[in-house]
Amino acid sequence: MPKTDLFNSTNQENVIVVDINDVIADVNQPRKMFDKNALTELASSIKEHGVIQPILVTKLGNKYQIVAGERRYRASRLAGLLSVPVIVKDFSTKERKEVALIENLQRQDLNPIEEAYAYKSILEEFGITQEELAKRVGKSRPVITNSLRLLTLNPAVIDMVASGRLSAGHARCLASIKQMSVQESYAKACCDKQMSVRSLEVMVYNYLNPTKKQKRVKEILSTELKDLVNDMQRVFGTKVKVIGNNNKGRICIDYFTQDDLSRIFDIVNAMKKGKNR
């Protein structure tokens, strides 16, 4: 069904007023986070002017399930309204998801992670291609692909993006790094140092492309020494590298934030206490 058909329901004759307690939210709607201050401001406006734009709903038994407009619904409850204006339409499950996604995208209400999960849900549930989804929501296919890449990140990094601490641009840079602990360390460094996307790109490039000299050194390291470095990386949760060869050299432990340094300090202290027992 074309997008215009889904939204073309704003004629006044389609609007009815219903008990606010008969309106229910859709637990599967893409938007999960609602700013409390923004809701309070909207509630104040609704107290003074009422709900100017009706809530789009579909009939579900003796209730009305929200398809688009949950923010207005929440603010109306906060304002103490007993009833709200709604537009009732019949939607299939697919259409409900699509309308909710498009409405939030058009209003820029979704954070990057909510948007990515919404795309993933539609792709998996309805078996359409990224190309088809891109056409439905008015985006390019690379935009959909890059959005979905965010969901491959370390869960801690995903939380940083969802909360607004880390931008989607920064997060996409980190998706090239496979080691989850390094992703998290770099993400924290970006937040703490307010690093630009370009600076992070350089940092990630250097991590993924060590110098030729470093590559030659790695090639002659024994299996035992390589295993030691891998074990240290897992224990300390950060990048560890060897400078030298099997006979002599240095083992370097990187830290990118104060949290990294504190974690390394705590691990070494725990090892010392264990040895003294």
CATH (one of 3.30.590.10, 3.90.1530.10, 3.40.1190.20, 2.30.110.10) for 3-107: 3.90.1530.10
pLDDT at 150: 94
- Owner of token pair 């399930």: 65
* Cα(83)–Cα(210) distance, integer angstroms: 63
Domain spans of the chain, in order of start: 3-107, 111-152, 155-208, 212-276
Give the pLDDT score at 29. Answer: 67
Q: What is the pLDDT of residues 139-176, one digit of tens each?
A: 888 989 999 999 999 999 999 998 889 999 999 999 98
> What is the rounded end-to-end Cα distance, in angstroms, of the chain?
71
Residues of the chain under the 70 pLDDT cut: 1-13, 29-33, 103-109, 211-220, 274-277
Q: Is the pTM of this model over 0.75?
A: no
What is the Cα–Cα distance from 180 to 48, expressed in whole angstroms? Answer: 50
d(CA 132, CA 138): 10
pLDDT confidence of residue 12: 46
Cα separation, 277 vs 269, whole angstroms: 13
CA-based nearest residue to 157, from 176, 138, 171: 171
What Å distances lie between residue 150 and 87, 132, 145, 175, CA to CA? 35, 20, 9, 7
H-helix or E-strand spanning residue 243: strand 240-244
Give the pLDDT of residue 277.
60
Question: Active-site residue numbers?
Answer: 70
The pLDDT score that the predictor gives to residue 23 is 92
Distance CA 229, CA 250 (A): 11
* CB-based contact 20:76 (threshold 8 Å): yes
